Amino acid sequence: MNNSLFHYLIGCFPLLSIMACSPQPEPIDFGRDVCQHCKMLISDERYGAELVTKKGKVYKFDSVECLLWHLEENPDLQEKTHLLLVVDFHSPGKLVPALDATYLRAKHLPSPMGMFITAFSSPEAALSMLDPSDEESRQLRWEEVAAFIRQSKVPSQQ
pLDDT in the model for residue 109: 94
pLDDT in the model for residue 135: 87
pLDDT in the model for residue 122: 96
pLDDT in the model for residue 158: 37
- Using 70 as the pLDDT threshold, list the residues of the chain that sit under it: 1-20, 153-158
pLDDT in the model for residue 61: 98
Tell me the β-bridge partners of 138: 105
pLDDT in the model for residue 143: 97
- Rounded to whole angstroms, the Cα distance separating 87 from 96 reads 6
Q: Of 48, 29, 28, 46, whose CA–CA distance to 38 is shortest?
A: 48
pLDDT in the model for residue 157: 40
Determine contact, residues 53/23, Cβ cutoff 8 Å.
Answer: yes
pLDDT in the model for residue 10: 57
pLDDT in the model for residue 12: 53
pLDDT in the model for residue 29: 98
